[in-house]
Structure 1
Amino acid sequence: MLPRSGDVLHVTRAASVQFRRPILFRVIRVLDRPTYDGWVWLEGYELNAAGDAVNRRSIFVQRAGLRQLQAAGQPRPHTVRSARRAPARGSMRVA
């Protein structure tokens, strides 16, 4: 699988030994650098659990070890966040 811009990937040790701790990664682009057969340079953002970008990075990984979680163009799943509401107003008496 060759990732595309916007894809969200689960990058684990299967992609490279440097990922002892798996990460979520949103692809910006596939870099055109010479590599070994089956390997690829990716530029993108490391994501936190809520899907927000926390770190921009370039990674060197095996294509066969990447797992796609979300294809480019699919809407991001909603996260539950507390909504801010205006304070409740009591009834006002006008004389």
Structure 2
Amino acid sequence: MRAGDAFDVTRAASVQFLKPIRFRLIRVLDWPTYDGWVWLDGYQLDARGDAVSRRKIFVRRDGLRPAVPIRATGKRTRRG
């Protein structure tokens, strides 16, 4: 886990994520936790991959999944 990594955080990581979120990691916090759990500092991302809020989340490390890349859906226009 490194700064800049993005994760799809689901219920597998913690029951609080009944509705999954996409999360970009800033850092792993050095706070006391239970074995296998971590505090993460980062940004919740919207559907376009833009940061919408900064959050600290408490999750099971083995419940985190790498984020599936977001595909651009907008049409490009050519200016002439």
* Bucket of the pairwise TM-score, normalised by the shorter protein: 0.7 to 0.9
Please state if 1:32 is matched with 2:30: yes
TM-score, normalising length from structure 1?
A: 0.73
Paired residue for 2:62, among 50, 61, 64? Answer: 64
Q: Which has the larger radius of gyration?
A: 1
TM-score, normalising length from structure 2?
A: 0.86
Please list the CA deviations of residues 1-34 of structure 1 after superposition, one character each: whole Å capped at 9, or x if unmatched.
xx21100000000000000000000000000001
Match of 2:47 in 1: 49
Which structure: greater strand fraction? 2
Question: Which consecutive aligned stretches of 4+ in structure 1 deviate over 6 angstroms post-superposition?
Answer: none
Q: CA deviation at 1:57?
A: 0.2
CA RMSD of the aligned region, Å? 2.0
Paired residue for 1:79, among 61, 68, 72? Answer: 72
Q: CA deviation at 1:83?
A: 5.7
Unaligned runs of 5+ in 2: none
CA distance in 1, matches of 2:32, 2:11: 22
Instruction: Tell me which amino acid in the other structure corresponds to 1:60.
Output: F
Unaligned runs of 5+ in 1: 71-75, 89-95
How many residue pairs end up in the alignment? 80
